[in-house]
Amino acid sequence: MAKIERFEDITAWQKARQLTQEVYTASNQPEFARDYPLRDQIRRAALSITSNIAEGFERDGDKEFIQFLSVAKGSCGEVRAQLYVALDQAYLTEERFRQLTDLAEETSRRLARFIHYLRDSNKRGWKFSTATGIAIDS
């Protein structure tokens, strides 16, 4: 049986961390970097994903954790929306845009599956074991 002992064990957090790194790299490109409002906003949104997963995990129960995961999922949507602005302003190539949106969508799907699992699970408490592997592969 696998057990999530730290938020770093959550696959959705790992993907969100990767997304944050990629957003920072992309927004460091000269044209993108000069658009301070967009650069700062997309970075804040990406940071919100990892931060909300971590904060929710450290809270005292599933309902609160699910709420933080939902906020993180919303931030994935915010990143995607801002990626469209970056694409429209020619700060990103079509290929780079697709890479980043694919990663944001994958992160969002993992969060959705994890939320669904927590809502439907008869196990309680956010630090639990699972025989299905769903929680670890969220």
pLDDT of residue 3: 77
Q: Where do the domains of the chain lie?
A: 13-121
Topology of domain 13-121 in CATH is de novo design (two linked rop proteins) (1.20.1440)
DSSP code string of 92-132: S-HHHHHHHHHHHHHHHHHHHHHHHHHHH-S--SSS-EESS
- pLDDT tens digits for range 13-69: 999 999 999 999 999 999 999 999 999 999 999 999 999 999 999 987 888 999 999
Is 95's pLDDT higher than 90? yes
Is 136's pLDDT higher than 60? no
83, two tokens:
């990626």
